Amino acid sequence: MGAEQIRRWESGALAHAVSDPFGQGPLPWLRGSENYFDDTGQVVPWYADLGRGTGGGTRTADDVRRQIKGFVSPGAAAPGEAIDFHITVDPPQQFSVDVYRIGHYGGDGAAKITTSPRLSGIVQPPPLAADRTVSCHHWWMSWRLQIPSYWSVGAYVAVLTTADGYRSHIPFTVRHDHPADLLLLLPDITWQAYNLYPEDGRTGASLYHAWDERGRLLGEEDAAVTISFDRPYAGAGLPLHVGHAYDFIRWAERYGYDLAYADARDLHAGRIDPSRYRGLVFPGHDEYWSTPMRRATERARDSGTSLVFLSANTMYWQVGLAPSASGVADRLMTCRKRRGPGKSALWREVDRPEQQLLGIQYAGRVPEPSPLVVRNAEHWLWDSTGAADGDEIAGLVAGEADRYFPRTSLPEHDKRILLAHSPYQDSEGATRHQETSLYQAPSGALVFASGTFAWSPALDRPGHTDPRIQRATANLLDRICKRD
């Protein structure tokens, strides 16, 4: 592979890891004291992977040399259940697994929960590829983590480190079926849709990209139709967009909200009963939904459970889930994106537009961050924020945006209001609008949709927090949780 092609794949997940403020990359997720010096003598967090010179420090494993990479099965488990780690190490050597839980933790962002014994690493076989579907389901199990009964539910990150200092990550979730005010649903299906592993200029494929024989990155028309959960995430090993969820978690746990946790595949498979909670929170980019996911969410709303969508472009593509080659359920995802036979398509193209659940729906990308313009400031959502009609909250319309489509039917509702109406310029220079929506279903459930990628980062991302968004989100969740 030539230098130009290497730069091309490095411009993906690895570069995004430290450059994108709206969650396109996996970092930062830990703000603790594990720092080192970079080549210029500046102290930097260990996860930034800048310490390749005299300062030492760890280095991020890549998808070409695969110094250490891995995935887990299943992606979520309850206390008393086990999670199996499948890890490749090249060259073979010992490695360890540090397990962190995402949370506020005095501002650190995560806390180390346990460390594995020293483990013997092996070089696993190369990934299998068939019709652009890449799978590592044939990898041997490297370590089994039995979840202790006393572990807290939550979003976890396993940090894999080799004896010679290479590092990568694996996310997983600890769930349970105990009652809680809010159920947070981590969008693992959408995370996998964007996963280009291996990002090597040759083999990897996602629902967005693949490579040709010359190492050129191809677009959606040549991308995968079916992708596997049995593979690591590209680059640093954490999903693109994962930062949205971690921003919300840190903020919500700081203020003591009673949270349960699950993955989108748990919702799909019926492993949780969403109607048992006062509210379901979808904290990040959540673009890919199966029919069982949508049905379960609609039933929850109709039984009185509120819904909180804190990103944009939610429930855009319809997908199907199927067992892996070894028969493990929900390890393959198919989305044809209008290619070939099958029913996978845009929800709005199968006469079930997103707006019928969300109250608004995807309008387009936002090339440059723009202000969110407050509307209906007398509404209780804006109480104690100091916001007035027409106030601009800088940078809050970013990434992608939703709006109300007048020609598309709305969900059945008793009350409905738009709480922001924000102009922005699209990539062609045309003026478009973002909107933030709230409606009350006949069951009494509230359904909120922020309509922008930047809402969750405004809760707890350094350099992006906004007290008005923090207060408005608290107003919403307090009402759902029936706090005084």
Q: What is the pLDDT of residues 207-246, one digit of tens each?
A: 999 988 888 888 888 999 999 999 999 988 988 888 899 9
Question: What's the average model confidence in pLDDT over 344-348?
Answer: 84
Joined tokens for residue 174 = 């600890």
Give the end of a domain, one of 197, 228, 259.
Answer: 228
End position of a domain, from candidates 175, 207, 228: 228
Residue 392 lies in a domain: yes
Question: 220 and 277 share a domain?
Answer: no
Does 303 lie in the same domain as 170? Answer: no
| Same domain (yes/no): 191, 304 | no
pLDDT of the residue at 304: 97
The reported pLDDT for the residue numbered 273 is 93
Q: Answer yes or no: do 138 and 224 share one domain.
A: yes
Give the mean pLDDT of 254-278. 96
What per-residue confidence (pLDDT) applies to 266?
Answer: 97
- If asked whether residues 165 and 102 sit together in one domain, one would say yes
Residues 65 and 7 in one domain: yes
pLDDT of residue 60: 84
46 pLDDT band, cuts 50/70/90, is: very low
Cα–Cα distance between 309 and 331 in angstroms, integer? 25
Q: Are residues 220 and 300 in the same domain?
A: no
Question: Span 428-443, mean pLDDT?
Answer: 97
**Is 417 part of any domain?**
yes
More reliable by pLDDT, 394 or 7? 394
pLDDT at 11: 38
Pick the more confident residue, 103 or 336: 103
Tens digits of per-residue pLDDT, 88-147? 999 999 999 999 999 999 988 999 999 999 999 999 999 999 989 999 999 999 999 999
Would you place residue 35 in the very low, low, confident or very high pLDDT band (cuts 50, 70, 90)? Answer: very low
Hey, what are 283's tokens? 């904290």
Give the per-residue pLDDT at 424: 97
Domain count for the chain, please give it: 2
Return the closest-CA partner of residue 86 out of 134, 162, 144.
Answer: 144
Percentage of the chain modeled with pLDDT above 70: 87
Look at residues 228, 255, 284 and tell me which one is the last residue of a structural domain: 228
List, for residues 180-189, the tens digit of each pLDDT value: 999 999 999 9
Contact between 99 and 154 under an 8 Å Cβ cutoff? The reply is no
448 and 299 within one domain:
yes
Tokens of 412: 């059945």
Q: Do 369 and 477 sit in the same domain of this protein?
A: yes
Question: Does residue 81 share a domain with residue 220?
Answer: yes
Position 57 confidence tier, pLDDT thresholds 50, 70, 90:
low
pLDDT of residue 332 exceeding 90, the answer is yes
Angle subtended at Cα 395 by Cα 390 and Cα 398, rounded to the nearest 5 degrees: 110
Instruction: Tell me how far the alpha carbon of residue 468 is from its chain's centroid.
Output: 24
437 in a structural domain: yes
In a domain, 410, yes or no: yes
Q: Report pLDDT digits (tens) over 364-400.
A: 999 999 999 999 999 999 999 999 999 999 999 999 9
Contacts of 80 (CB under 8 A, 6+ apart): 146, 147, 149
Lowest mean pLDDT among 9-23, 141-155, 274-288: 9-23
Region 45-64: mean pLDDT is: 56
Query: Residue 249 falls within a domain, yes or no?
Result: no
What is residue 372's predicted lDDT score, i.e. its pLDDT? 98
| Phi/psi of residue 366, nearest 5 degrees | -115, 100
Q: Are residues 26 and 237 in contact, defined by beta-carbon separation less than 8 angstroms? A: yes
Answer yes or no: is 260 within a domain: no
**pLDDT at position 20 over 50:** no
In this prediction, residue 426 carries a pLDDT of: 93
Q: How confident is the model at residue 19 (pLDDT cuts 50, 70, 90)?
A: very low
Please work out, in degrees rounded to the nearest 5, the angle formed at the alpha carbon of residue 207 by the alpha carbons of 202 and 211.
20
Residue 33 pLDDT = 52
DSSP H or E stretch at residue 280: strand 279-282
Taking 70 as the threshold, does the pLDDT of residue 21 lie above it?
no
Average pLDDT over residues 439-455: 97
Q: For residue 477, name the pLDDT band (cuts at 50, 70, 90).
A: very high
Indicate the range of 16-30, 181-195, 301-315, 426-440 predicted with least confidence. Answer: 16-30
Residues 37 and 149 in one domain: yes
The first and second tokens of residue 331, run together, are 């390890």
Out of 76-90, 141-155, 236-250, 355-369, which region has the weakest mean confidence (pLDDT)?
Answer: 236-250
Q: Which residue has the higher pLDDT, 342 or 341?
A: 341
Q: What percent of the chain has pLDDT over 90?
A: 75
Q: Is pLDDT above 80 for 10?
A: no
Residue 268 in any domain: the answer is no
User: Is residue 327 in some structural domain?
Assistant: no
User: Which of the residue ranges 43-52, 71-80, 438-447 would you say has the lowest mean pLDDT?
Assistant: 43-52
Are 208 and 277 part of one and the same domain?
A: no
Confidence of residue 45 (pLDDT cuts 50, 70, 90): very low
Would you state the pLDDT for residue 350?
A: 86
CATH of residue 35's domain is 2.60.40.1930
pLDDT of residue 391: 98
For the ranges 43-47, 201-205, 248-252, the lowest mean pLDDT is seen at 43-47
Read off the pLDDT of each residue in 436-458 and give the average, rounded to a whole number.
97
Distance, CA of 51 to CA of 47 (rounded, Å): 10
Q: Mean pLDDT in the chain? A: 88
| DSSP labels, 400-458 | EEEE--TTSPPPP-SEEEEEEEEEEE-TTS-EEEEEEEEEE-TTS-EEEE--BTTTTHH
Distance CA 134, CA 432 (A): 38
Cα 321 from Cα 268, distance rounded (Å): 9
Going by pLDDT thresholds of 50, 70 and 90, the confidence category of residue 345 is confident
Domain that holds residue 296: 273-316+354-481
